[in-house]
Chain A
Amino acid sequence: KAGVTQTPRYLIKTRGQQVTLSCSPISGHRSVSWYQQTPGQGLQFLFEYFSETQRNKGNFPGRFSGRQFSNSRSEMNVSTLELGDSALYLCASSIDGSQETQYFGPGTRLLVL
C-alpha cells in the first residue's frame, strides 16, 4: 500500500503570496491532519479533516485553512505569507481519526522570502 504523499516537496514563495499544499492519504484512510514543524516551535498541530469536515483545529491564525475532498485528499492553504511561515508542513493520515495511529508523509518544505 502506498504511503502518504505530499506535493510539492519544496516550495519558495515571497511574502504576501498565497500557497496551496496537497496531501494524499493512505488508501482507505479518511482522516487527514496537518502539522507545522519549525526549529523554534517544533511540531504543532494545524487542523484535522474527516469526511470533508474540519473536525479539530490548532491555534493558528485564519490565514491557515484547509479542505478535504470526497476521495479524502486534502489541501492546505496559507494566504498572505509571512517570513515566519517558513517551515516543514507535514500531513498525517489515519483510518478514521478515532485515536488511531497517524502515518506521516515526507512533508512539504516551504521557504518564504
Chain B
Amino acid sequence: AQSVTQPDIHITVSEGASLELRCNYSYGATPYLFWYVQSPGQGLQLLLKYFSGDTLVQGIKGFEAEFKRSQSSFNLRKPSVHWSDAAEYFCAVGAREGANNLFFGTGTRLTVIP
C-alpha cells in the first residue's frame, strides 16, 4: 500500500533563507509524486509533479523538487523563501495504474519570519 511521510510537522525559516521540505514515500513501483500547498482556509494548489523523465522538476513560485528513487524521497526546495510562502505543504503519491486517488502526507507547516 502507498504511504507518504513528511517528518517535519512545522518548520520556521527567515525570509530570504533557503528551504527544504522532506517527503518519503512507500510504494511498490515508481509512483506519481506531487507537492501541493494550502493557505489557511483554502483548497490545495499544485506546486509541481513528477511523472517520469528528469528527476529534478520545476514548479510554480520558484519551487523545485528532486525525485530520488534510491531514497524513496521527493524533497521540495526553494532557494530563497518569501513571506508569502507561509502555508502548509503536502506531499502526495498516486498510483500509476488502477485507482486514481492520492495518498497524502500529514503536511508541513511553514512559518516565515522577517
Give A residues with C-beta under 8 Å from B: 4, 6, 31, 33, 35, 42-45, 48, 50, 55-56, 58, 90, 92, 94, 97-107, 109
Give B residues with C-beta under 8 Å from A: 32, 34, 36, 41-46, 49, 90, 92, 94-97, 99-107
Q: Known contacts A42-B107, A99-B94, A99-B95; is A104 also within 8 Å of B44 by CB?
A: yes
- Within the complex, what minimum Cβ distance (angstroms) separates B1 from chain A? 11
A98 touches B100 (CB 8 A): yes
Residue of B nearest to A98 (CB): B100
Residues of B within 8 A of A104 (CB): 36, 43-46
> What are 26 A-B contacts with C-beta separation under 8 Å?
A4-B43, A6-B43, A31-B100, A33-B101, A42-B106, A42-B107, A43-B102, A44-B104, A45-B103, A55-B100, A90-B43, A92-B102, A94-B100, A97-B100, A99-B96, A99-B97, A101-B49, A102-B100, A102-B102, A104-B43, A104-B44, A105-B43, A106-B42, A106-B43, A107-B43, A109-B41
Complex Cα distance, B44 from A72, in Å, reads 20
Majority secondary structure of chain A interface residues (helix, strand, loop or mixed)? strand
Residue of A nearest to B34 (CB): A101
Residues of A within 8 A of B106 (CB): 42
B42 touches A107 (CB 8 A): yes
Q: Known contacts A42-B104, A43-B90, A104-B36; is A56 also within 8 Å of B99 by CB?
A: yes
